[in-house]
Chains A and B, each alone.
Chain A
Amino acid sequence: MASRSNGLKSKYDVIVIGGGHNGLTNAAYLARAGKKVLVLERRHVLGGAAVTEEVFPGFKFSVCSYVVSLLRPEIIRDLDLPRHGLEILPLDGTFTPMPNGDYLWRVNDHGKTRREIARHSKLDAEAYEEFGKAMQAMCRFVKPILSMVPPDPSTLNPRELMKLLFIGRRFQGLTSEDKYNQVQLMTMSAVDFLDEWFETDVLKATMSASGIIGTFLGVRSPGTAYVLLHHYMGEIDGAFRSWGFARGGTGAISNAIAEAAREAGAEIRTESPVAKILVQNNRAQGVVLSNGDEIEADVVSSGVDPRLTFVKFIEEDQLPGEFLEDVRRYKFRGSSGKVNIALDALPDFTCLPGPGAHLRGAISISPSVDYMEKAYDDAKYGNFSRHPYIDMVIPSLTDPSVAPPGKHVMSCFVQYAPYKLRPGLNWDDQREAFGNNVIDTISEYAPNLKNLIIHKQVLTPLDLEREFGLSEGNIFQGELSLEQLFFLRPVPGYAQFRTPIKNLYMCGSATHPGGGIMGAPGRLAALEILKDAGGAS
């Protein structure tokens, strides 16, 4: 390989931009294949949005992403992550308090959940089992597609056509019933889809929530049924639909992957922000750090989103106009914020008082379908939701290591918080109000919350962009909407991790199969890079 020829300069085979979980996964796979890999992370900590930070002394927060379920099993296996310190603790159930003083509490125990749902509707209790089975069938159909490089439907290349055929065959393999469900999932709104199964409003509301997470869509928007599935794909120890915490917070996942990468010989530098990607005669040559240092490499693999990669790091004249147009058109539209709270004690929910198992799972403020849809309506016109959808977890109950004895950390995912506020408003002025509105909303269900707050960290979409380099604060590096999935992600014609510039690759969530702590983009990109390098090394 070229690098061997000029031994003097410190030259790498691959430079990976961004030490997020995908960048690290990408690096680990490349290093294990014998490549000389350098990972450059802008911040002082690794993990990108999958990071644990001691925001307040003694209180460790999974600052952004806070639960795990999508992490691909093959990656856990290949990188031997448990040996590198990854330990997943179960997160059992979803507790949905209701304004009328009742609640819906679903747990992994089928019998319990069935009885609980039956309290609200006997019919739904029956349907729930069926629904679970149907979703599993759907997941089985979609999962291989998650670990597949999207085809390019515009070429007649047999390899690409085979992929399309493969999907076609799998689809034909489904039962007539599953075909029906699959087609609906790909096209319907979460609520329309759930309407076909259930009658209980709160059940539909809280289930539909996973259809909108990280999108700028409402639970009634077509296409959200798919995201519902995307979140159903959760798989830990092979069990569908199980979600968990990483011991030590989400950052522990990134650290485990980083360890695997280091062990395989990858070099990882933090506090090394990239300023430019060096391109000569349409070929990536390396990068320039913001301190001016130039580092050469045969291949540059970017874990950051397309806007940073192609608009910020590369000169306009080095990219084809149409491609740049498509990149500019790629939709981010961050729609969520995060409020991390250090608690003196546990919150007390009026509808189910006292500390109990219901606090160990997810606590979801999603009392009705209209509540969810109205939260979206606010966002459409540039306001944060007056009554937002909130997904809370209290990891310190399961993993005491993240908070001082007797104290707790509570992580609140909040939607909607539109990146673009209506004219006249800006997030720096709204941050306070946004945070308070979240506290007020939760307090309607747990009145004692306000007196328990020791510290509070409010992250608006703008903060996510500034602090974590997520353009427009989109947690998935780009909306998971139908026109930005599979062979259209991130842009038509470049869904195979390659770019118009030779030896420049994308390996972040902006590529297939998209966001969530999944690692699939990082892995698939690595395999493509190795395929291309195949001859050389």
Chain B
Amino acid sequence: MAEIRDVIIVGGGHNGLVTAFYLAKAGFKPLVLERRAQPGGAAITEEFHPGFRCSTLAHSAGPILPSILRDMQLTSHGLTLINPQVGVTALAPEGRALVLYNEVARAQAEIARFSEKDARQYPVFQQALEKIGRVISEALSLTPPLIDDPSAGDLWAMLQTGRNLRNLGKKDMYRLLRWGPMAVADLVAEFFENELLRSVVAARGIFGTGLGPWSAGSSLVLLIRSAGDPHPAGSAVFAVDGIGAITQAMAAAAKAAGAEIRANAEVKEISVQSGVATGVVLQSGEEIAARVIVSNADPRRTLLKLVDPIHLTPDFVMKLQHYRMPGTIAKVNLALSGLPKFTALGTGDPRDALLGRIHIGPEIDYLERAFDESKYGNYSEHPYLEATIPSLTDPSLAPAGKHVMSVCVHYAPFKLKSGDWSSQRDRLGNTVVKTLSEYAPNIAELVLDGQIITPQDLENTYGLTGGHIFHGELALDQFFTMRPLLNWARYHTPIEKLYLCGSGTHPGAGLTGGSGANAAREIAKELRR
């Protein structure tokens, strides 16, 4: 092994690329090793049917942290974000649609058609989220303190957070303390009476998680998401050429800053000598040495697969095995010969309503029942769906007049009670189309082709252990100083010189780049030693 690299980053997901960029900018020479043909991890665009391209997995951005957009100058690296004026449209089976525009006043007008009272409450809720979100976003950009012996810096940071809390004022501070552990179903009920509005807002607390709207702690998920985006039901953030364009621009920015990115370079093993990470071994057998190794892979894959657990204490291994990451989501991408007719949108041009995300899960109970199934290892017969039709805002994704529809399917438990996913794939696809048909009867005859990605595929093809899109369950006991494990939340690991930068670290949750940016800060300190 001739040269010794500054830093190797295992995995070119969005967080890996963000870390690479910041480390390169800090004057180091990161080498990103991506297993697949293109970087991007779970934020990629692929052609799944001749002429039809789609955001294969994630179909709406976090949104990306403004600081990252700015620092990486993603727009000048070819990224064109699309922010449709509609965040999300919630469909009710009895043929009504609630169109939640980003503009609060317009959203209010739509809500008023369902409930005057809720229309009045909506801005109150929105402002509370904005205020609390600001405090949370500061905590999100923090390196979690070491609980065992907090450093002076940690204490200072905690003091700051404490001060920010106080500055919220008694009312909002208590709101934050009270809401955090609450069930999101209770939270929305405190503000709204209309079931459709309740469910579309509550959905934000459960998307991609193993929680139902009645699960305690789902409110915190909503609060964390509102930190970057105070739209009560969440806005829609797309990109020209799909979500993959975001990671393409990130890769370009990282390269421009001096990082090297190698595709088709799967890391087989992270070499450890007497407790210190020294380099990696590729599938090809090639060995590369580096001063620091950073893993964008999830904590379990990194420390129990890529690293030989022999280097870890049994206690740590046990705790990591208990880190919960059973996926609950599947993805269905449809190639459509035309735009589906949604009964709820009536005649006239429905496009406005379809520009953002489309929410199917009209009642809290509907969402909860969908969740119930997953507890016993079944997937929901009446799933909660979040669909997007990106070809409406970016026609280049499909041939003229045709469309692509991207559908996130809840709940699809990684472990099925009976049978395995390979035998369930088609049934899952049919369940989704059947559910969609209840809202857009003509959709079945428009389907030209479908790409069905089960939780099993998420693990096998995309390297998400347990099929968990967030590298680990979003639960009260797996946040902040506990993500992934208590006292191992500072992007470091029990293996010296081995760091984590993926969604399995604080703040995790969604396509924001937060984890990658925080990790880079800590790793730079290490490299400067």
Interface residues in chain A, defined as those with a beta carbon under 8 Å from any beta carbon in chain B:
153-154, 156, 176, 179-180, 183-184, 186-188, 192, 195-196, 217, 220-223, 322, 329, 331, 370, 373, 377, 380-381, 481-483, 487-488, 492-493
B178 lies within 8 A of A492 (CB): yes
Q: B174 — which chain A residues lie within 8 A by C-beta?
A: 154, 488, 492-493
| B 159-184 to A, binary, CB cutoff 8 A, 1 in contact else 0 | 00000011000110110011111100
Give bound CA distance, A322 to B476, whole Å: 28
Which 5 pairs from chain A and chain B are nearest by CB? A482-B181, A492-B174, A187-B476, A187-B477, A223-B216
**CB proximity of A174 to chain B, nearest CB, Å:** 10
A493 lies within 8 A of B487 (CB): no
A223 lies within 8 A of B181 (CB): yes
B486 lies within 8 A of A180 (CB): yes
Q: With contacts A183-B147, A493-B174 known, what are 15 further pairs, Cβ within 8 A?
A: A176-B148, A176-B487, A186-B476, A187-B181, A192-B324, A196-B322, A217-B216, A220-B375, A222-B211, A223-B181, A377-B372, A380-B368, A381-B369, A483-B181, A487-B177
Among A176, A221, A329, A331, the residue within 8 A (CB) of B215 is: A221
Q: Which of A329, A380, A487, A493 has the most CB of B within 10 A?
A: A380
Give bound CA distance, A335 to B484, whole Å: 34
Give bound CA distance, A223 to B186, whole Å: 15
Among A179, A195, A329, the residue within 8 A (CB) of B486 is: A179
Interface check B190, CB cutoff 8 A: yes
| B 485-500 to A, binary, CB cutoff 8 A, 1 in contact else 0 | 0110000000000000
B171 lies within 8 A of A488 (CB): no
| B 197-216 to A, binary, CB cutoff 8 A, 1 in contact else 0 | 00000000000000100111
Give bound CA distance, A221 to B171, whole Å: 27
Among A153, A322, A481, the residue within 8 A (CB) of B216 is: A481
Q: A373 — which chain B residues lie within 8 A by C-beta?
A: 375
A153 lies within 8 A of B177 (CB): yes
Asked whether A380 and B376 contact (CB < 8 A) given A176-B148, A179-B147, A183-B477, the answer is no
Q: B305 — which chain A residues lie within 8 A by C-beta?
A: none
A483 lies within 8 A of B179 (CB): yes
Q: A222 — which chain B residues lie within 8 A by C-beta?
A: 181, 211, 215-217, 475-477
Give bound CA distance, A196 to B215, whole Å: 20
B214 lies within 8 A of A380 (CB): yes
B365 lies within 8 A of A381 (CB): yes
Q: B475 — which chain A residues lie within 8 A by C-beta?
A: 187-188, 222
Asked whether A180 and B319 contact (CB < 8 A) given A222-B215, A223-B217, A488-B177, the answer is yes
Give bound CA distance, A195 to B376, whole Å: 16
Q: B44 — which chain A residues lie within 8 A by C-beta?
A: none
Give bound CA distance, A322 to B215, whole Å: 26
Interface check B482, CB cutoff 8 A: yes
Asked whether A179 and B148 contact (CB < 8 A) given A223-B181, A329-B190, A483-B179, the answer is yes
Give bound CA distance, A183 to B483, whole Å: 12
**CB proximity of A494 to chain B, nearest CB, Å:** 11
| B 358-372 to A, binary, CB cutoff 8 A, 1 in contact else 0 | 000000010011001
**CB proximity of A252 to chain B, nearest CB, Å:** 36
Q: B173 — which chain A residues lie within 8 A by C-beta?
A: 153-154
Give bound CA distance, A220 to B216, whole Å: 10
**CB proximity of B152 to chain A, nearest CB, Å:** 15
Give bound CA distance, A168 to B364, whole Å: 38
**CB proximity of B517 to chain A, nearest CB, Å:** 25
Q: B372 — which chain A residues lie within 8 A by C-beta?
A: 377
Q: B186 — which chain A residues lie within 8 A by C-beta?
A: 331
- Smallest CB gap from A180: residue in B: B486
Q: B147 — which chain A residues lie within 8 A by C-beta?
A: 179, 183
Give bound CA distance, A457 to B171, whole Å: 45
Give bound CA distance, A380 to B482, whole Å: 30
Q: B214 — which chain A residues lie within 8 A by C-beta?
A: 221, 380
Q: A487 — which chain B residues lie within 8 A by C-beta?
A: 177
- Smallest CB gap from A225: residue in B: B477
A154 lies within 8 A of B178 (CB): no
A488 lies within 8 A of B486 (CB): no
A154 lies within 8 A of B216 (CB): no
Asked whether A481 and B178 contact (CB < 8 A) given A188-B476, A223-B216, A380-B214, the answer is no
Give bound CA distance, A221 to B216, whole Å: 6
B477 lies within 8 A of A188 (CB): yes
Q: B166 — which chain A residues lie within 8 A by C-beta?
A: 154, 156
- Smallest CB gap from B219: residue in A: A483
Give bound CA distance, A488 to B182, whole Å: 12
**CB proximity of B317 to chain A, nearest CB, Å:** 13
**CB proximity of A201 to chain B, nearest CB, Å:** 13
Give bound CA distance, A493 to B170, whole Å: 8
**CB proximity of A322 to chain B, nearest CB, Å:** 7
Give bound CA distance, A188 to B211, whole Å: 12
**CB proximity of B314 to chain A, nearest CB, Å:** 13
Q: Which of B181, B190, B211, B214 has the most CB of A within 10 A?
A: B181
Asked whether A322 and B171 contact (CB < 8 A) given A188-B476, A223-B217, the answer is yes
Q: A184 — which chain B residues lie within 8 A by C-beta?
A: 477
- Smallest CB gap from A175: residue in B: B148
Q: A217 — which chain B residues lie within 8 A by C-beta?
A: 216
Q: B165 — which chain A residues lie within 8 A by C-beta?
A: 153
Q: A195 — which chain B residues lie within 8 A by C-beta?
A: 322
A-B contact pairs, 25 of them (CB 8 A): A154-B166, A154-B173, A156-B166, A176-B487, A179-B148, A179-B486, A183-B477, A183-B486, A187-B477, A192-B324, A192-B477, A195-B322, A221-B214, A222-B216, A222-B475, A222-B477, A223-B476, A370-B376, A380-B214, A380-B365, A481-B182, A481-B216, A482-B216, A483-B178, A483-B182
